[in-house]
Structure 1
Amino acid sequence: MKTTVKSYQTLLGGFILLAVLGSCGQEEKKAAAAATPATIKTFILQQEEMKSSLKMPGELIAYQQVDLYAKVSSFVKTLKADIGTEVRQGQLLMTLEAPELGSQLAAAESRLKSQEAIYMASKSNYDRLLETSKTPGTISKNDLDQASAKMNSDNAQLNAARAAYKEVGSISNYLEIRAPFSGIISARNVNLGAFVGPTGKGSEFPLFTLQEQKHLRLVISIPELYTGYLKAGDTVTFTVQSKPAQLFTATVKRLSGALDLRLRAERVEMDVPNLDKQLLPGMIAEVSVALPANAGTFVVPKSAIVDSAEGIYILKDENHKAAKITVKKGRENDGKVEVFGDLHNGDVIVTEGMEEIRVGDAISQ
């Protein structure tokens, strides 16, 4: 019995000794692993020329567009155009009717004729007195001056009557609505007999909306980062949803030269010929803007950039120790990104940047 207990104690002691030796071995392995830095992929930084393109949405709008309203209160008498009608500059689109305007024109004409008669009478009287006054002692100077003043006053009244008649006549011209330029009627909001004018229900919507569609504008907003790449005369390409397989071209014509305060982008307009009317105002276009290569820029893989709460940076190998280099991103293309910062040719950069790598961590290549 004593032999059995002793054997058990001996066996238990052996197990304990093996456990202690195993624990010591694991600690030694961990210490060795900590002493040996992990292998991290790096690359040598070099300046490159990076060609890329910027894809962004744009909007097609009519080269010219105008909403036509009635100048005077009136009723629609005739309609000469409808939605989709192609019209020429100066073409009659609509005639209006305003009976009270006719009465005003007749009254103004009557006042004009009356004033003409008054002026002719006063002028004849002055001419007779002037001729008679050539004989000494026949007409006093005071009578001649009064006749001259009366003639001048009647002449002024005649000119006022002429102006009033011309004004009413000009207003009557507003009863004809004509096209200010050649284009297509894209909207009509009235019918025969409708009341229209600057006041009342008739002025709620325009009579017609006229668009020039054979010549369109493509409008885009270029972000601040890319404003230096486009200039007047450059050509861009674009597609539209209705014809995804067809590639259209446009030429840059107008740049605003300022950034929109809300979008922080520059408005750029391009001219688009549209004689076959394949494109329509209001279409959304997918625009591709070619960005030329800039010599002397540094390009890194996108994976090398760390975008964290501390900012945007890349990791640099300095004497086998990790160092952070704060950078700003430029253009992106095919998984590569332009970066700007305190960088030099020949710098060793970590290929796979991550927040877990701290400043001063050992780097083994």
Structure 2
Amino acid sequence: MNKLKNKSILLLAVLAMAIGSMSACHSDDKEKKEQQEEQEQQEAVENPTVEVVPVTKGRLSSAITIPGELLPYQQVDLYAKTNSYVKKLLVDIGSEVHTGQLLAVLEAPEVNSQVASAQSRIKQFEAVYYASKATYDRLLSTSKTPGTVSQNDLEQAEAKKNADLANVDAAKSGLKEVSANLAYLEIRAPFDGVVTSRNVNLGAYVGPGGKSTDPLFTVQDQNRMRLVVSVPEIYTGALSSKSEVNFTVRALPSEKFTAQVNRIAGALDEKLRAERLEMDVYNKSKKLLPHMFAEVSVPLPAGDSTYVVPKTAVATSTEKVFVIKVVNNKAVWVDVKKGLTSGDSIEIFGGDLKPEDKLVKAASDEIRNGSNLKVKN
């Protein structure tokens, strides 16, 4: 029994020694593997393996999508110039009107009285003028007999006649001035368009002395509209007055519209730092409405020949924008400026670059300036 017990103890001891040896070996292998991985990581950081692309000359055409607004080609608010009352309303909201069409008739009884008074003054001054003219004509006829009329009396009569004639002319001018107020009592359309607002009712008191500051009517020309966009400063150098833009509106998402660039501001807005573009849009179908917002695709034609590289080759840090040129298997940071983008390509400017220079395809600030590189074949 004791012999069997001793054999069991001996067997357990041998097993324990074997397991300990295997654990030690496994621990050594794991430690070596970790050291090897750490060395590989350190080497990858110090000598990263990169893929390179050549610098190429080219011209990049692109387009930007920016928000725009549709405005009526012409819009006017119509007010009453003379204090008066609304006598007739001939149109309402949505009415299509034509140039010179009568929209409303106003009434101002005092204007009629002023016209009658001005006409009476003309007759009064004409009577005085005719009398002074007759006196002058008689003196002139009598003065042909020497010694009958002094020269001074003749000149005085002529001056009186001319003064009375001037009074007649002044009275006639006064009548024109008062009569003009009669024309202001008729509100007419200045151009073909649509009445988009009406802010008065029959009998309302309107004019400069009225309580309301709202216009009587607002008329818009909607047959032709202005598509207005503001292009950011960075893209203004590529704008052309011959360009054609495409745009869509939210109300008609399945339809695409086109328009020709007609006007370029030629200056930047001080607040937006952008240049204003205007396109004329013909709206015969009346599908488009003023003040709709549009998504506008503005083409940017290719300019002078530039360097074109993949977007991934341009890195941006907190301090600079740069590409990484490979020179003798070393990384060289080259400062550049971004230009137009199209698809996966981008224009770059500046920097010490030449055609066929090799750039790191996937640039980042983790590849430090001056570090050694391994280039993939």
TM-score by length of 1: 0.90
Q: Structure 1: which amino acid aligns with 2:228?
A: V
Runs of 4+ aligned residues of structure 1 deviating over 6 Å after TM superposition are 15-26
**Which residue does the alignment assign to 1:280?**
289
Q: C-alpha separation between the residues in 2 aligned to 1:252 and 1:149?
A: 66
**Which residue does the alignment assign to 2:179?**
169
**Which residue does the alignment assign to 1:299?**
308
Q: What pairs up with 1:1-365 in 2 under 5 angstroms?
A: 30=38, 34-35=42-43, 37-202=47-212, 204-294=213-303, 296-342=305-351, 343-365=353-375
Q: Is the 8 A contact 2:54 2:358 kept in 1?
A: yes
Q: Structure 2: which amino acid aligns with 1:83?
A: I
Q: C-alpha separation between the residues in 2 aligned to 1:195 and 1:307?
A: 66
The SS at the match of 2:237 is: coil
Q: C-alpha separation between the residues in 1 aligned to 2:280 and 2:32?
A: 79
Q: C-alpha separation between the residues in 2 aligned to 1:166 and 1:51?
A: 63
User: Against the structure 1 CA distance between its residues 132 and 84, is the aligned structure 2 distance closer, same or farther, given a 3 Å change threshold?
Assistant: same
Higher mean alpha-carbon deviation, 293-302 vs 261-270, is at: 293-302
Q: CA deviation at 1:26?
A: 6.2
Q: C-alpha separation between the residues in 1 aligned to 2:329 and 2:194?
A: 71
Aligned residues: 357
Q: Is the 8 A contact 2:238 2:302 kept in 1?
A: no
Q: CA deviation at 1:200?
A: 3.1
Can you list the C-alpha shifts for 1:191-230, whole angstroms capped at 9, x where unaligned?
111111123313x111111111111111111222222333
Structure 2 unmatched runs, 5+ = 1-19
**Which residue does the alignment assign to 1:7?**
none
Q: C-alpha separation between the residues in 2 aligned to 1:20 and 1:247?
A: 70
The SS at the match of 2:209 is: coil
Structure 1 unmatched runs, 5+ = 1-11
Q: C-alpha separation between the residues in 1 aligned to 2:32 and 2:222?
A: 85
Report the RMSD for the aligned CA atoms in angstroms: 2.6
Q: C-alpha separation between the residues in 2 aligned to 1:32 and 1:56?
A: 48
Q: C-alpha separation between the residues in 2 aligned to 1:363 and 1:198?
A: 81
Q: C-alpha separation between the residues in 2 aligned to 1:268 and 1:153?
A: 60
The SS at the match of 2:238 is: coil
User: Against the structure 1 CA distance between its residues 20 and 253, is the aligned structure 2 distance closer, same or farther, given a 3 Å change threshold?
Assistant: closer
TM-score by length of 2: 0.87
Q: C-alpha separation between the residues in 1 aligned to 2:36 and 2:239?
A: 63
Q: C-alpha separation between the residues in 2 aligned to 1:172 and 1:356?
A: 82
**Which residue does the alignment assign to 2:15?**
none
Q: Structure 2: which amino acid aligns with 1:334?
A: G
Q: C-alpha separation between the residues in 2 aligned to 1:295 and 1:153?
A: 76
Q: CA deviation at 1:139?
A: 1.5
User: Against the structure 1 CA distance between its residues 279 and 24, is the aligned structure 2 distance closer, same or farther, given a 3 Å change threshold?
Assistant: closer
**Which residue does the alignment assign to 1:9?**
none
Higher mean alpha-carbon deviation, 309-318 vs 187-196, is at: 309-318
Q: Is the 8 A contact 2:238 2:303 kept in 1?
A: no
Q: Structure 1: which amino acid aligns with 2:359?
A: I
Q: C-alpha separation between the residues in 1 aligned to 2:92 and 2:282?
A: 24
